[in-house]
Structure 1
């Protein structure tokens, strides 16, 4: 018999009442707003009262570029949090909430895996505490109010061809990417082309995750640009008058969710912006809360370090004043073999040569993270098919860069399999060697920021962009948006914009197709190559295997 499935492990877990988990962090029971017995929101009043407490040490878990072989970043984040608690440290983890679209599509859930999971796994991967539904409702309220404003006379003189605010749905549905709305006659308004994005791509999601509190949330919502007039002057959410009602809808969603790991350690699960189109990190309010209550906080950033870690450092840490103490880069022998040219079907066969070749991708990420002044350690997420020779090659490849790589077996053994990494990470964070600074200063011109990321992180030779893109950036600078950081939207699979180029390419050209202003979230999005803001379902969606069994338990969720 092999290891039981993730959902079977999660269902067999012995969960503690959420008040006990809160007590581990010093949260009084009356400051928890319970959603059942095993999850709760932490009250805004309690969070505000912690402002003067010192911060714990922030540890980022990131990874090499994702491959179909799997890396296990969330599993490692959960395992490391459990491991730190196991060795006697007071630690909490902070991860993102799962989106329904990928759950029923191809990616599956976002609660970790094996014996390093967050529970309740089913609720976390489904409706959870309703945060995503609140974001969907707030976003679509604004959409409705824009069309309603136009219907009742268009006092703001919105140019219907320049309404940039679309609609959202937390589901993968390619049929809704481009639609025509308001068909069916005069009573339904003025027909216009629009479309749907997935909820995690909404600027409202990014705002919720970057806001300090409800007052900050309302200001940022009001700042969002939703359309333009014929003279190209912007129309904001505040102009439409939707910011107040949207804040009301998001009032509870702003409060972070507390749950637990399989080993009954505290986990904050809050927010989930897209890691391509947005910044791919859990909420600032959850991370800040955890830092006030724990000595070590382990968090993750979406996709590989070229996207996730860069945005974590340049957007989230810059905006929230966070200073990471250490970073863990997750790699697997399997994924490195793919980077070394081995096809997925052939990963079962030993290939030390491919591991060594694939280490170039890992080395690039190590250099990049170190470039932010953050010390690095590598976590080798162990698979039973890994051979001793492959693991040795990976360790030697990393050692040649002056960095340590640690074999981790948390997936199979929980915290007992990751003690060594936990000990080394705590020592690394405690040494205080981090000298964090973002990649570029606030006052650098926007196009130069794009070039800096492209050349220093992706190792591109040059950046190409139409004159219209450069003109747009110049206009935004003139309008006072020049100090904003840049959020790069590109494929997660490669340092280039071609998802098929693995390894560590350099000297390539980075095309910037268009730029978008997220004035409320506080960043400029540079879209490089083809980026999908509404995914589709695969030929055989995971949804086909998800069902309730005769006992009323969910099956097929992973």
Structure 2
């Protein structure tokens, strides 16, 4: 079979105006970026208010393993599958970060015959959204330093500036830096650093804001530093919120593209699934729900991070309610969770699959806690045996639901129609009774502990008095009703990435808490979390270039 990029390049794309027409978006309501991508105009989005919503389908997965799960591929494939059975559908996914594209992870447009196109554009500069977010974030950073240089009227404690700079690239050398060297003309010397753009609070804000007015209000609430008297300094105190919103005006409009089978796809926003909530934008999802009968979206990493945040943060704040959850798993990943090394995955091992299904089972239980029905999608690999597939299906059937084998990577929509039929049936039945895991009124420390116990299976979340006092002070300042955003390794239910399966008898240590006042959540950092990745020893950038025809090679 051809590579992903070869398949994408050979695709017959339709003009983006035709894709918009399938959802009732007129050509005048699109802002084209070339022939195959466009932004949906804000006036058109505003005109949709009052329309009923379609049904929201969340695609999530087990904990990621080196064996691969294929969550985005399944999201795109399911969208195509629903369209193939006659449903009016739209796909909603995140934009790709340049850092992983040139690092190790690769692109984020799906794969095989279940891709969103134009793949090269999506994985590179696309419509410039990430550049706008980077610029807005760094404008605020520049205004902080400039304010202090010109007299520091806000009495900012320069030892307690929390707002760092960002860039959309992996660069470990920028994690901790010193700025302002070279004398008084260059400002003042202080220690700071860079995060990757997807970790910016501005990214999270753009993805949770309802409109430009809400965006500016949230940007203004961002806490950037502390005064010498201990009170917080907000972006609005620096009068930065208006200019930042100007930079984000166009980025706020959702991007419309298409799948290989011409299903409309909204690709917008891309917050980190650790330090932020890991979902595409609220405005894209809400718009799609007004235009389609079924909207298929995904959440970052496994269900313990992505789905939990989707439910407790995005749905809570945006008033969304999923009708069905699709939980992606692979036979290969089940074997790894059952103790098989990656090098040995080619050999049949039904016993290891059965043991590894404990990880799948905990994710199923977690989704049930939110009152939403779940269907398991077995993303097929050619080496899977009938016995191994049956072991997964039997395990899932014993829990009262279905595990459906999907071959969308190799066959496109034809390989996933069984899942599409099942999802439509469950969504149409209206059996979901969605509710977040905890109430707004619960204390912040208790919210953190609730996620650790009920989602991760931990005995408790461990916090020292310093952290508990910080949470209590935020409650006193009026932030107690915010949800919590748990930042931990995606590879395990624990904070140790090497522990697979469904472990018990462990604690979740909370190392630090951060207030994201603009985004509207409190981040609990559990274990070691990297907000500026580095490149691997052999980065993907070494294999990316242009061929003799001027086409990009090696991107995916």
Q: CA deviation at 1:507?
A: 2.3
Corresponding residue of 1:378? 376
8 Å CA contact retained: 1:373, 1:435: yes
Equivalent residue for 2:69, pick from 68, 71, 85: 71
Q: CA deviation at 1:132?
A: 0.1
8 Å CA contact retained: 1:169, 1:196: yes
Q: CA deviation at 1:207?
A: 0.1
Matched, 1:87 2:85: yes
Deviation string, structure 1 residues 41-83 (Cα, Å, up to 9, x no partner): 0000000100110000000000000001110000000000000
CA distance in 1, matches of 2:496, 2:163: 28
Equivalent residues in 2 for 1:145-544, closer than 5 Å: 145-544=143-542
Corresponding residue of 1:56? 54
CA distance in 2, matches of 1:487, 1:359: 27
CA distance in 1, matches of 2:228, 2:501: 47
Deviation string, structure 1 residues 438-494 (Cα, Å, up to 9, x no partner): 000001000000010000000110211111100000000000000000000000000
Equivalent residues in 2 for 1:1-12, closer than 5 Å: 3-12=1-10
CA distance in 1, matches of 2:421, 2:460: 42
Corresponding residue of 2:37? 39
Deviation string, structure 1 residues 177-215 (Cα, Å, up to 9, x no partner): 000000011101110000000000000000000000000
CA distance in 2, matches of 1:336, 1:99: 28
Tell me the SS of whatever aligns to 1:161: helix
Q: CA deviation at 1:368?
A: 0.3
Q: Which moved more, 1:228-237 or 1:39-48?
A: 228-237
CA distance in 2, matches of 1:512, 1:50: 42
CA distance in 2, matches of 1:138, 1:498: 35
CA distance in 1, matches of 2:319, 2:504: 32
Tell me the SS of whatever aligns to 2:159: strand
CA distance in 2, matches of 1:337, 1:19: 45
Deviation string, structure 1 residues 134-158 (Cα, Å, up to 9, x no partner): 0000000000000000000000000
CA distance in 2, matches of 1:128, 1:390: 40
Tell me the SS of whatever aligns to 1:502: coil
Tell me the SS of whatever aligns to 1:238: helix
Tell me the SS of whatever aligns to 1:143: helix
Any unmatched runs of 5+ in structure 1?
Answer: none
CA distance in 1, matches of 2:253, 2:66: 34
Size of the alignment, in residue pairs?
A: 556
Tell me the SS of whatever aligns to 1:158: coil
Matched, 1:120 2:118: yes
CA distance in 1, matches of 2:401, 2:177: 51
Deviation string, structure 1 residues 316-372 (Cα, Å, up to 9, x no partner): 000000011000000000111111111111111111111101100000000100110
Tell me the SS of whatever aligns to 1:514: strand
Q: CA deviation at 1:430?
A: 0.3
CA distance in 1, matches of 2:460, 2:118: 47
Deviation string, structure 1 residues 486-538 (Cα, Å, up to 9, x no partner): 00000000000000000001221100000000000000000000000000101
Deviation string, structure 1 residues 105-143 (Cα, Å, up to 9, x no partner): 000000000000000000000000000000000000000
CA distance in 1, matches of 2:291, 2:31: 17
Deviation string, structure 1 residues 381-422 (Cα, Å, up to 9, x no partner): 000011111101111111111110000000000000000000
8 Å CA contact retained: 1:462, 1:507: no
CA distance in 1, matches of 2:214, 2:264: 27
CA distance in 2, matches of 1:334, 1:119: 28
CA distance in 1, matches of 2:517, 2:371: 29
TM-score (norm 2): 1.00
CA distance in 2, matches of 1:142, 1:461: 41
CA distance in 2, matches of 1:457, 1:232: 35
Segments of 4+ moved more than 2 angstroms: none
CA distance in 1, matches of 2:150, 2:413: 60
CA distance in 1, matches of 2:550, 2:493: 45
Q: CA deviation at 1:267?
A: 0.2
Q: CA deviation at 1:436?
A: 0.1
8 Å CA contact retained: 1:352, 1:389: yes
CA distance in 2, matches of 1:216, 1:462: 36
